[in-house]
Structure 1
Amino acid sequence: MIAALGGLIAGAAAVYVRESGSGNGAAVETAGAKSCEAAKDKVAAITPFLKGQVAAMAPASDPRPLPGLNFKGKDGKDMTIADFTGKTVLLNLWATWCVPCREEMPALNALQQSAGSEKFEVVAVNIDIGGDEKPTAFLNETGVHDLGYYRDASMGVFNALKTEGLAFGLPVTLLMDDKGCLISSMNGPAAWDSEDAKALVKAAAGS
């Protein structure tokens, strides 16, 4: 009887721990959703610009922060999307072995060159496994010099987006507002140097 009673107490404790953890997670999720409440207006503002060369960009049905977007800067410093607070960000994941990625990198570079400012940045994160040799060689060969150099050799940032249902392959591109809330996303390449892309960025950054 004592053993049985002990088992019941242990079982009750396990249920309590699971429920408490779930409740805390729900609270964090709710807080995140509230912090992006204003982003719904931004989604509405950019939706008319999701056309032409950027028609594949889909407006976010639930603007929200995205945890797990961790990568490294040029100096090897750990970074997250929070480091860009105050800027609208076009976050793009690419790899040297991805042919569509290679083809669109010059266009992303041109977008950064024409639209990059204190209000907007193209953040292209390379996810090649291994060292920096291949990605840096490719960028030098193609004359892509206006983009910041961001890397995640662990592919953790891609897996985080896959978990969120946002990444199915490469390239994948997200548009994040100046508070780090997702407002639009797409899988596949786009003509980021087009007038359609520039108009979308202008609407998103409010510039």
Structure 2
Amino acid sequence: MGATLAASLLPKQGRAAGGALRRGVQALPEFGFTDGDGVARRVADFGGQGLLLNFWATWCPPCVAEMPALDRLQAALKPEGFSVLALSSDRGGRAQVAPFYARVELSHLGIWLDPRGAAGRALSVRGLPTSVIVDREGREVARLEGAASWDAPDMVAAIRDLIGPAAARPATDRA
């Protein structure tokens, strides 16, 4: 199924009121962000994986509401070579995000930081939350502005379709 058709399967009940889904395939621009330890990272560091880039902040109520579903999505799809990169725009960085993760009991998401908004600007993010789905070839295949029920079965199926199958592991000789 093509990416455009698969993106149309994202369920209406998973969208926030007024949320707009933009479909299509386009190359990602170069941009950077940091991990929870302050190490500079790029999307290219996740080559071959399907990604959901979620732009959020601790002060954003719809963002906070969808974080547990993103945590469950990460747990469900990580074995398939998929990562949720929840890029926090909080200016307080890790010192602000880590206590939030502990309070909300997020145990599967890594801490990813974009406190100056460079990644958000590179991807033309207009508001929070915004999520960008990236296929295994590093292309944006769908975008959702607004909160969603990311771990709903039909949403998980649509994401699997959008990102494509994981690369098969090479067979090993048993000689």
Q: Judge same fold: TM > 0.5, yes or no.
A: yes
Q: Normalising TM by the smaller chain, what interval? A: 0.7 to 0.9
Residue pair 1:89, 1:175 contacting (<8 A) in 2 also:
yes
Give secondary structure in 1 for the equivalent of 2:123: helix
Aligned to 2:22: 58
Once the 2 structures are TM-superposed, how far is the Cα of residue 205 of structure 1 from its aligned partner?
Answer: 3.4
Q: Percent identity?
A: 34
Once the 2 structures are TM-superposed, how far is the Cα of residue 168 of structure 1 from its aligned partner?
Answer: 1.6
Residue pair 1:68, 1:156 contacting (<8 A) in 2 also:
no
Structure 1 residues 113 and 82, CA gap change in structure 2 (3 angstroms): same
Higher strand share: 2
Residue pair 1:53, 1:197 contacting (<8 A) in 2 also:
no
Aligned to 1:8: none
1:93 matched to 2:55: yes
1:79 matched to 2:41: yes
Once the 2 structures are TM-superposed, how far is the Cα of residue 201 of structure 1 from its aligned partner?
Answer: 1.9
TM-score, with length taken from structure 1: 0.71
Report which structure shows greater RCO (CA 8 Å, sep ≥6): 2
Residue pair 2:3, 2:161 contacting (<8 A) in 1 also:
no
Once the 2 structures are TM-superposed, how far is the Cα of residue 65 of structure 1 from its aligned partner?
Answer: 1.9
Aligned to 1:112: 74
Residue pair 1:93, 1:172 contacting (<8 A) in 2 also:
yes
Once the 2 structures are TM-superposed, how far is the Cα of residue 47 of structure 1 from its aligned partner?
Answer: 3.2
1:203 matched to 2:161: yes
Deviation per CA, 1:37-61, whole angstroms, max 9, x where unpaired?
A: xxxx74145235223334653312x
Give the Cα separation in 2 of the matches to 1:206 and 1:179.
9
Once the 2 structures are TM-superposed, how far is the Cα of residue 206 of structure 1 from its aligned partner?
Answer: 3.3
TM-score, with length taken from structure 2: 0.83
Q: What RMSD, in angstroms, separates the aligned Cα atoms of the two structures?
A: 1.8
5+ residue gaps, structure 2: 166-175
Give the Cα separation in 2 of the matches to 1:71 and 1:158.
10
Letter of the 1:177 counterpart: D
Residue pair 2:7, 2:141 contacting (<8 A) in 1 also:
no
Q: State the structure with more CA Rg.
A: 1
Between 1:113-122 and 1:80-89, the stretch displaced more is: 113-122
